[in-house]
Amino acid sequence: MKDILEKLEARREEARLGGGEKRIAAQHAKGKLTARERIELLLDENSFEEFDMFVQHRSTEFGMEKSKIPGDGVVTGWGKVNGRVVFVFAKDFTVFGGSLSEAHAEKITKIQDMALKMRAPIIGLYDAGGARIQEGVAALAGYAEVFKRNVIASGVIPQISVIMGPCAGGDVYSPAMTDFIFMVRDTSYMFVTGPDVVKTVTNETVTAEELGGASIHAVKSSVADGAYDNDVECLLQIRRLIDFLPSSNESGVPEWPSYDDPDRVEPSLDTLVPENANKPYDMKELILKVVDEADFFEISEKFAQNIVTGFGRVEGRTVGVVANQPMVLAGVLDSDASRKAARFVRFCNAFEIPILTFEDVPGFLPGTAQEYGGLIKHGAKLLFAYSQCTVPLVTVITRKAYGGAYDVMASKHIGADINYAWPTAQIAVMGAKGAVEIIFRKDIGDKDKIEARTREYEDRFLSPFAAAERGYIDEVIRPRSTRRRIARALDMLRAKQVEMPWKKHDNLPL
């Protein structure tokens, strides 16, 4: 028996080495951790249970039968993050460059199936070179099996992709169908075709970073939801994100102990909004002062910064936060902001996460660039997303709520449950100057008359009371009591139930 156990340990040790010491050293030289080191950092200590350590590819083409390494380029299994079960797979770049074979894909789909059965999150750590060319269509079929399971699991369990190295071809499509994608700056790349192919086909000369680095996908394309400086920081932030997310669409939001009094008042909020309506202020200050212990996990922080999305907690329970940011483009809604917020709202609704909306929006961004870029359809995505929500919706209007953007940002009319306004709120079709110049265009030459009409319009409509008189606003509240009001509203809404008509699925304006 002793000999057998020694052989077992020797085989395990061989599998743990992946591509060997030389390749592990090369991985470290690039500033990257190995697949197993990443899993150790991601999961609670000693909680990882590995599956399929000894699986090998079955290819006999192009001399592949002479080169077999246990594990076949991916480490799979399950473990815990702060005591909660998660499933994980990590591509091992030291083994065949992490390329996907038929056997490699079977390891991943096995974990996907288990995660779905157990209704637990799945996290993929990517560091790979695409399909294993020597296996041809078998590798492509393996990718398709993974893709199909991504779609089946969507909206059922959280799926998180972490890009920690090169990621090309089929390895970018699976992450694209997951809920969140995070990247590591300077060491991770995502592209359908690499720089060499781009050069051949289009004659463009471009670096990997310029084509698909974190600086592109987290800022310009919105493919990635965030980027971090190194593997360690990235994995620690993923652990933090998991703490905000439900295990499945039926498990309810996690509830952690909170030492932050839900009745806490913030006198500084009474002076957050400047007297000058055209002067910006930082909406993140309000968010941090409302959520528990100023703990806010922002999603897509560097993309479409005129809207803020992310997760916080109120009384220890997760809430999704959507907020216009007056510091960027005056908080206006444009195509990018609408897409960003719509996807976030749909995620929250799928996983029964209440949504808290802070509104200060002067409208939709005008101009040919926006119209040619499909602003109407992108804006409709956000409207559609909020309108189909069945989760608790609490909205606070801090200042401007103009035009159609007022309707879109979780107004009472499209299904919000509780709508509060600060005394500084301005709810109207448009700003006073523009409105007066349309209504009283014949008086435009008379400066005194126009000024008088402007004051009249401001007194009547640029306040929360016209909306409150009609019941569109449930209460005009003092800014300092915002946290207390939100906490009470969310507590009351815990048992919310909404019946929606049966449909096979909706037809979101994509």
Q: How many helices (H) and strands (E) does the chain have?
A: 19, 17
Q: Distance between CA 331 and CA 365 in Å, rounded?
A: 10
Q: Is 404 a catalytic residue?
A: yes
Query: Which residues lie across from 168 on neighbouring strands?
Result: 191
Nearest of 442, 366, 439 to residue 405 by alpha carbon: 366
Angle between the 375-387 and 335-350 helix axes, to the nearest 10 degrees? 20
Q: Distance between CA 489 and CA 264 in Å, rounded?
A: 15
Q: Is 97 a catalytic residue?
A: no
Q: How far is CA 98 from CA 18, 104, 126, 236, 510, in A?
A: 10, 9, 8, 23, 33
Structure tokens that stand for 491 in this block: 């507590």
Task: Say if residues 384 and 510 touch (Cβ distance below 8 Å).
Answer: no
Structure tokens that stand for 153 in this block: 């699991």
SS (H, E, C) 342-364: HHHHHHHHHCCCCEEEEEEECCE
Q: Distance between CA 27 and CA 216 in Å, rounded?
A: 24
96: left (phi over 0), alpha (psi -120 to 50) or beta: left
Q: Which of 169, 194, 312, 331 is catalytic?
A: 169
Q: Which of 373, 403, 404, 434 is catalytic?
A: 404
Structure tokens that stand for 467 in this block: 């909306």
Q: Distance between CA 316 and CA 213 in Å, rounded?
A: 36
Structure tokens that stand for 15 in this block: 């599998």
Task: Say if residues 351 and 245 touch (Cβ distance below 8 Å).
Answer: yes
Q: Which of 90, 385, 405, 467 is catalytic?
A: 405
Q: Is 176 a catalytic residue?
A: no
Q: Is 373 a catalytic residue?
A: no
Q: Which of 71, 77, 79, 170 is catalytic?
A: 170
Structure tokens that stand for 99 in this block: 């390329």
Largest CA distance in the chain: 102
Query: Which residues lie across from 43 on neighbouring strands?
Result: none
Beta strand 297-299 with 307-314 is antiparallel
**Active site amino acids:** 169-170, 404-405
